[in-house]
Homo-oligomer: A and B are copies of this chain.
Amino acid sequence: MRIGELAALVGVTTRTVRHYHHLGLLPEPTRLGNGYREYRLRDAVELARVRRLTELGLSLDEVRDVLADDRGRELREVLEELDADLARQQEAIGAQRDRLAALLAAGEPDPDAAVSPDLAAVLRGLPVAGSPSAALDRDMLALIDTGAAPAERAAFTALLQPLADPDIAARLPDLYARLDDLADADPTDPRVPVLATDLADCLPAELLAAMRDPRGRTWLDELSRELGPAQAAVFRHLSGGTP
């Protein structure tokens, strides 16, 4: 038999056979005078064995190990491990499909705000138009949401829920506008403490508390980098006073 025949017999390509030779999974057969490989039935049997193992999902390295490590006992371990691996994959795919189903069921899957649905609702209630600080806020909130574990995410959304209240939402555009006005101001600007007071008045107490704990401060630091000095000063006032 020549290589094409062998390959057809077992149902692989000639490229595959040569690949197995290259990796040493299959011994190189004797050559004919013209350099062609000459196979015998036993080679086909060996090839078929390799194929069966790969089709079970073994990697070529694993196949080599199994073939080397004579018969049976190692194979059993590998197969069991493989099964466990497949079980994990099944589970992972199932979870993945659940997530997909949730997204698809939500009507319009918007990866832009592929934040948790509750947060999305809050964000929709916040004003954005034309205010850089408001846009920053949205970005920040989205980021916190995507990075958090589900449990934290729920707590976080709960913190923000009050902002969706119409009374509060109505006061936000003015506050954002005043924050925008401080973009190029000096941190000692007299408007800073006034705005901080008005903000503290408007925001829920729990949210203010969260801004004072270490995790909240980290995020505020992040946010402050993108703000002007006076704007950052406002948040320093909010999150703990003087420093």
Chain A contacts to B: CB under 8 angstroms: 1, 9-11, 40-42, 44-45, 48-49, 51-53, 56-57, 66, 71-72, 75-76, 79-80, 82-83, 86-87, 89-90, 93-94, 96-97, 99-101, 103-104, 108-112, 114, 136, 139-140, 142-143, 146-147, 222-223, 225-226
Contact = CB atoms under 8 A, between A and B. Distances in A.
Nearest to A10: B147
A109 B76 contact: yes
Given A75-B109, A104-B76, A41 B223 contact: yes
Given A114-B52, A146-B48, A100 B72 contact: no
A41 B104 contact: no
A50 to B, nearest CB: 9
Contact of A93 (B86, B96, B112, B146): B86
12 contacts: A9-B147, A10-B146, A41-B140, A41-B223, A45-B143, A51-B146, A71-B112, A79-B100, A83-B104, A89-B93, A90-B93, A93-B93
Q: In terms of DSSP, what is the predominant structure of the interface of chain A?
A: helix
Nearest to A5: B222
Contacts of A40: 226
A98 to B, nearest CB: 10
B110 A72 contact: yes
Nearest 3 A/B pairs, CB to CB: A45-B139, A48-B146, A41-B139
A45 B142 contact: yes
A45 B223 CA distance: 13
A82 B93 CA distance: 11
Nearest to A82: B100
A80 B44 CA distance: 42
